[in-house]
């Protein structure tokens, strides 16, 4: 791994598959300067590295690594045997552990990282893992930040960094509006490649930050902000290496010489794709993705709502407009405090006391911004030629103005460096780089997301806000809520920002997260995605009919991965060798390493 403290300039896309597009370099450099300005030295934890996985002796581990090195070349196998000097930042992050450090740096850590160059090499790694019973944990690019990043769930797993050498865009079809990508293709890279070909008519559905892998984000069921929005729903066709080394293609790709795998996702028979999303049942090495046609015209709009208590009315107005596609994109309804924080300024500029920042200060600060004094901001976009947009915007305006004190902020009055224009880019399929700035709220700012799904209904929004508020107040944490509105549901995203060098801040963040997950489940809300450390808890909330779903998942896991080598514990699904041995992470400190694994006698020779 590179010595990140020695890096001076952020790599661009021409230098690294994970780099920043040149057009965004200035933004990256600004964000990086702010991050590093806020950093204080990380306390070095005593740990013996490399972390050897449970059930494997040091001698077997060393032999296994030598064997893998012989198969793939010394430059493609890196032992993780030195404590990181620095965790870097979003664009230059570690691939051995969770840079957000929610569990302390010793827990979710890799023993080594391996860099395959092809599907065939991924197969070799899988067979190797079976031979030595070494847990492996695939990442596309490792930017699942807020949910575990590049970290493996089981300490000492070998991380398979797919993206470093498997980062080709295999196809862009300008007629069908589709593409075919490998794991190391970021939204940035895909967008830039499309521009380089002059395909102005193709749009990429981009998330808040564009550095993530298209495959990784889609498999985690991430969200973009154009009308396509739901990445999983818009993918088509996977190539997958199974835990026992076979390769399969899903959908139409199963038919040799098919030319429909990127345009018809289902193929024939049961749809297998779902088994490989948020799962530990296979390693996705290629994916087809649909691209949106340029709607030939678009304009962002911004509404400010005066009172926190306007929330329910606003949400109930949104629902029918969204379902009927008058509101066309996954928009965000964000709190005023986030609008303050996304300037990149630290909290102490505004308030230097412990406990949540007082409302009076939020009101005073937001009043200084282009949006003026408000509690909620709706960032949306209308698409199509002017007369089509005008039709929809008039309906939206009439509906939103039913809320007393609602104001439409004229984009012409918003300075070009305002966050609004970043949302404008993102909703128009142009990946940007602004979202991270709220991490500077506290020094060494890390984040972890609470992400429950709810109906687009005012009373649901109020219930979730009430529980989040109560738990944040108990933990003394500022509340950063954003509602991301899908077609019939919404994801409430609450990002907790904490100083990762302070154990008490980390623990407060985790206590708050755990309490919110349980509170939400008691009311009938589940998370769409979660951090590695919370996967057991969240999986446990999906318990209908005596945990029927988990039993089913475990049966499939045991059938497809008899040695339990692939990402044990991911999504709370533990292979047989680990089950009943205390690996689940919960409110106690237990669980990180469990009580070992079932001895070798239980393992299967392939």
> Residue 124, interface with ligand EUG (CB under 6 A)?
no
CB 406 within 8 A of CB 306: yes
When the beta carbons of 290 and 339 are compared against ligand EUG, the nearer one is 339
Write the binding mask 376 to 395 for ligand EUG: x where contact by CB under 6 A, - elsewhere: --------------------
| Residue with nearest beta carbon to ligand EUG | 223
For residue 189, which of 205, 168, 207 has the smallest C-alpha distance?
168
Which stretches of 46-187 are assigned E, i.e. beta strand?
Answer: 77-79, 112-114, 136-139, 158-161, 169-173, 178-181
532 lies in the site for ligand EUG, by CB under 6 A: no
DSSP assignment of 345-363: --GGGT--SSSSPPHHHHH
Residues 133-152 that bind ligand EUG (CB under 6 A): 146
Is 147 a residue of the active site? Answer: yes
Q: Residue 481 Cβ, how far from ligand EUG at the closest point, in Å?
A: 9
Does residue 495 interact with ligand EUG by CB under 6 A? Answer: yes
SS (H, E, C) 376-395: EEEEEEEECCHHHHHHHHHH
Q: From 53-61, 362-370, 471-479, 490-498, give the range in contact with ligand EUG by CB under 6 A.
A: 490-498
Q: Which is nearer to ligand EUG, 529 or 570 (CB)?
A: 529
Whose Cβ is closer to ligand EUG: residue 77's or residue 375's? Answer: 375
Stretch of residues binding ligand EUG (CB under 6 A), selected from 253-261, 283-291, 491-499, 572-580: 491-499
451 binds ligand EUG (CB under 6 A): yes
The size of the chain, in residues, is: 606
Check binding of 449 to ligand EUG (CB under 6 A): yes
Nearer to ligand EUG, 68 or 534 (CB): 534
Q: Is 509 helix (H, G, I), strand (E, B) or coil?
A: helix
391 is catalytic: no
Tell me how many degrees the CA angle 152-156-157 measures, rounded to the nearest 5. Answer: 50
> End-to-end distance of the chain based on CA atoms, in angstroms?
33
Alpha-carbon span 436 to 33, nearest angstrom: 12
Q: Which is nearer to ligand EUG, 136 or 509 (CB)?
A: 509
493 binds ligand EUG (CB under 6 A): yes
- Please report the DSSP string for 424-464 in residue order: HHHHTT-----GGGGGGGSTTEEEEEE-BEEES-HHHHHHH
In the residue annotation, 378 being an active-site residue is answered as no
DSSP annotation of 321: H
> Which residue in the list 147, 303, 378, 419 is annotated as catalytic?
147
Q: Is residue 535 near ligand EUG by the rule CB under 6 A?
A: no
The closest alpha carbon to 209, from 39, 67, 90, belongs to: 90
Calpha distance 182→204 (Å, rounded): 16
Torsion sign (Cα): 454, 460, 464, 467 = negative
Residue (379 or 574) nearer to ligand EUG, CB: 379
Cβ 217 to ligand EUG shortest distance, Å: 9
State which of residues 121, 208, 499, 527 lies at the interface with ligand EUG (CB under 6 A).
208
Distances (CA, A) of 540 to 454, 518, 567: 18, 10, 18
Q: If we measure between CA atoms, which residue out of 154, 103, 291, 281 comes closest to residue 214?
A: 291
Which among 98-106, 151-159, 488-496, 583-591 is the span making contact with ligand EUG, rule CB under 6 A? 488-496
For CA atoms 231, 233, 236, 238, the dihedral sign is positive
Q: Does 484 bind ligand EUG (CB under 6 A)?
A: yes
Least separation in angstroms between residue 426's CB and ligand EUG is 10
- Count CB-CB contacts under 10 A for residue 295: 19
Q: Which of 155, 463, 529, 577 is catalytic?
A: 529
Provide CB contacts within 8 A for 309, sequence distance 6+: none
Catalytic residue among 132, 188, 525, 528: 528
The pattern of x and - marking residues 223 through 252 that bind ligand EUG according to CB under 6 A reads x-----------------------------
Question: Taking the complex as a whole, how short is the minimal distance between the CB of residue 369 and ligand EUG, in angstroms?
Answer: 17
Residue 384 and residue 393: Cα distance in Å, rounded?
11
Regarding 109 and contact with ligand EUG (CB under 6 A), the answer is: no
Identify whether the C-beta of residue 461 lies closer than 8 Å to the C-beta of residue 483: yes
Contact between residue 330 and residue 229 where contact means Cβ atoms under 8 Å apart: yes
Q: Minimal distance in Å, beta carbon 447 to ligand EUG?
A: 8
204 binds ligand EUG (CB under 6 A): no
**566 within 8 A of 127, measured Cβ to Cβ:** no
Does the footprint of ligand EUG cover residue 177 (CB under 6 A)?
A: no
**Any contact of residue 521 with ligand EUG (CB under 6 A)?**
no
Q: Which range in 177-185, 374-382, 487-495, 577-585 contacts ligand EUG by CB under 6 A?
A: 487-495
Q: How many H-runs (helices) and E-runs (strands) does the chain carry?
A: 15, 19
Interface with ligand EUG (CB under 6 A), residue from 319, 491, 514, 570 = 491
Residues known to be catalytic: 147, 528-529
Residues that bind ligand EUG (CB under 6 A): 146, 208, 223, 435, 449, 451, 482, 484, 491, 493, 495, 529
């Amino acid at each position: 791994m590179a010595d990140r403290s020695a890096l001076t300039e952020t790599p661009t896309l021409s230098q690294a598959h994970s780099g920043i597009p040149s057009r965004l370099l200035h933004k990256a450099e600004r964000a990086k300067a702010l991050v590093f300005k806020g950093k204080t030295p990380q306390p070095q934890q005593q740990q013996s590295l490399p972390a050897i996985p449970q059930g494997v002796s040091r001698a077997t581990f060393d032999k296994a690594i030598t064997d893998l090195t012989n198969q793939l070349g010394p430059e493609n196998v890196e032992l993780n045997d030195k404590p990181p000097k620095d965790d870097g930042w979003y664009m230059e992050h570690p691939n051995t552990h969770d840079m957000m450090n929610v569990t302390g740096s010793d827990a979710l850590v890799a023993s080594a990282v391996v860099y395959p160059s092809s599907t065939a090499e991924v197969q070799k790694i899988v067979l190797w893992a079976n031979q030595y019973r070494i847990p492996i944990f695939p990442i596309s690019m490792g930017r699942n930040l807020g949910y575990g990043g590049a970290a493996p769930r089981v300490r000492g797993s070998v991380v398979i960094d797919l993206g470093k050498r498997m980062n080709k865009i295999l196809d862009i079809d300008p007629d069908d509006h589709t593409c075919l990508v490998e794991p190391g293709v970021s939204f940035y890279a895909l967008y830039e490649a499309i521009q380089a070909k002059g395909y102005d008519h193709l749009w990429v559905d981009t998330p808040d930050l564009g550095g993530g892998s298209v495959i990784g984000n889609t498999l985690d069921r991430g969200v973009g902000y154009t009308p396509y929005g739901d990445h999983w729903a818009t993918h088509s066709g996977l190539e997958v290496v199974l835990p026992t080394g076979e390769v399969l293609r899903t959908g139409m790709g199963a038919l040799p010489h098919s030319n429909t795998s990127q345009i018809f996702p289902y193929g024939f028979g049961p749809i297998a794709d779902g088994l490989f999303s948020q799962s530990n049942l296979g390693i996705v090495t290629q994916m087809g993705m649909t691209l949106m046609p340029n709607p030939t015209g678009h304009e962002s709009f911004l509404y400010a709502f005066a009172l926190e208590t306007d929330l329910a009315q606003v949400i109930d107005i949104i629902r029918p407009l969204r379902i009927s596609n008058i509101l066309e994109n996954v928009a965000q309804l964000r709190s005023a405090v986030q609008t303050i924080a996304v300037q990149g300024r630290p909290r102490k500029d505004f308030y230097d006391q412990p406990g949540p920042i007082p409302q009076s200060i939020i009101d005073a600060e937001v009043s200084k911004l282009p949006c003026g004094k408000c509690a909620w901001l709706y960032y949306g976009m209308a698409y199509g030629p002017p007369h089509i947009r005008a039709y929809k915007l008039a309906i939206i305006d009439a509906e939103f103005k039913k809320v007393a004190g609602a104001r439409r902020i004229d984009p012409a009055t918003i300075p070009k460096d305002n966050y609004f224009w970043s949302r404008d880019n993102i909703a128009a399929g142009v990946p940007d780089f602004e979202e991270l700035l709220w991490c500077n709220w506290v020094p060494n700012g890390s984040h972890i997301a609470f992400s429950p799904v709810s109906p687009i209904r005012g009373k649901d929004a109020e219930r979730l806000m009430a529980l989040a508020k109560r738990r944040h107040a108990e933990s003394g944490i500022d509340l950063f809520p954003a509602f991301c509105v899908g077609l019939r549901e919404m994801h409430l995203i609450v990002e907790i920002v904490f100083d990762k060098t302070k154990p008490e801040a980390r623990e407060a963040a985790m206590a708050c997260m755990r309490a919110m997950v349980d509170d939400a489940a008691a009311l009938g809300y589940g998370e769409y995605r979660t951090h590695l450390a919370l996967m057991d808890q969240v999986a446990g909330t999906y318990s209908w009919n005596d945990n029927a779903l988990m039993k089913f998942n475990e049966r499939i896991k045991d059938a497809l991965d008899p040695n339990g080598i692939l990402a044990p514990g991911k999504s709370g699904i533990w292979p047989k060798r680990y089950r009943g041995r205390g690996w689940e992470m919960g409110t106690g400190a237990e669980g990180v390493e469990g009580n070992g694994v079932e001895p070798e006698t239980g393992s299967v020779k392939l």
